[in-house]
Amino acid sequence: MKRELLKFLILAILVAILPTLLSGSYLVNVLIFVGIHTMLAVALNLLLGFAGQISLGHAGFFGLGAYASAILTTTYGINPWIAMVAAAVAVSLLAFAIGFPILKLKGHYLAMATLGLGIIFFIVFNEAVELTGGPSGFSGIPNLKIGSITFDNDLKNYGLIWLFTLVTVLLSVNLANSRIGRALRAIHDSEVAARVMGVNARLLKVQIFALSAGISAIAGSLYAHTMGFISPTSFGFNFSIELITMVIIGGLGSIYGSLIGAFILTILPEALRTFQDYDIIIYGIILILMTMFLPGGLVRGIPGLLARLRPADKQEEG
């Protein structure tokens, strides 16, 4: 537990000093996205990496949060903070209700069902033009405010979003190392044995699905209020796959891995601007390579890989 605290402190310090080392708002802007993506990847990892339940529709929950915030504040003039809380609660409740029937499904069937869910949300974002603005997007979303501080520039937004991201990471690490985290991993390894030991697998899966959707919705609200403009393309199937790739790269069940996965997959497309139209192909290739060579993800896999590359002092099992 001491080590967990140390890891978290190092991360917090890095987050605090990084913007002072970077010149120009472009890089700070990229780091804002790293933060949002980290929240989403960690949320998905709770479901995918711990409970072992796939969701190919998480971009949809992200979008629901963003649109709920946009509509409540811009169309109905509600305070952005209240809108954010309302969006998170509503999306969690929705996921809870959907979760009961959908999480009875396993493996490929669950993948198909959540894929369908994501597609339905995407269609709604596009077609409910009066509410969402349709394909041309929704603009004029107000910034968040605390007292006289308005979060209207990159540095302030960086602080705001990374505060939320750090809290998400900390709470998720706590959860992972608790009775609930163990029950989730138990479901992952043997659902029948977990149930025999008294874990209400069905309810717990639905709860974690709702929590995961709720965190994604908060990330969506933050995104909407920082950007001021949203459009359906940010919340499509491609983005769901991108989120899964982040989780796999970092390692299933590794919270800090998700952060690293989010970092890599946010920086990479920026660095490889020319490949823009091929991003989904690149994610596909990454997914295949990771599954073949580093199924445990980078964080767990790299030490093992290094050990294999150093045959001279390899240790035999006693």
Residue ranges binding other proteins (CB under 8 A): 171-172, 174-175, 178-183, 185-186, 188-190, 192-201, 207-208, 211, 253
Question: Cβ 173 to other proteins, closest distance in Å?
Answer: 9
Which lies closer to other proteins via its Cβ, residue 207 or residue 221?
A: 207
Which lies closer to other proteins via its Cβ, residue 147 or residue 198?
A: 198
Question: Cβ 171 to other proteins, closest distance in Å?
Answer: 4
Question: Cβ 136 to other proteins, closest distance in Å?
Answer: 39
Collapsing DSSP states into helix, strand and coil, what is residue 144? coil
Q: Are 208 and 51 in contact (CB under 8 A)?
A: yes
Question: Cβ 202 to other proteins, closest distance in Å?
Answer: 8
Instruction: Report the candidate in 1, 234, 216, 214 with the shortest Cα–Cα distance to residue 89.
Output: 214
Which lies closer to other proteins via its Cβ, residue 191 or residue 279?
A: 191
Question: Cβ 214 to other proteins, closest distance in Å?
Answer: 11
Which lies closer to other proteins via its Cβ, residue 219 or residue 227?
A: 219
Which lies closer to other proteins via its Cβ, residue 73 or residue 172?
A: 172
Q: Are 266 and 314 in contact (CB under 8 A)?
A: no
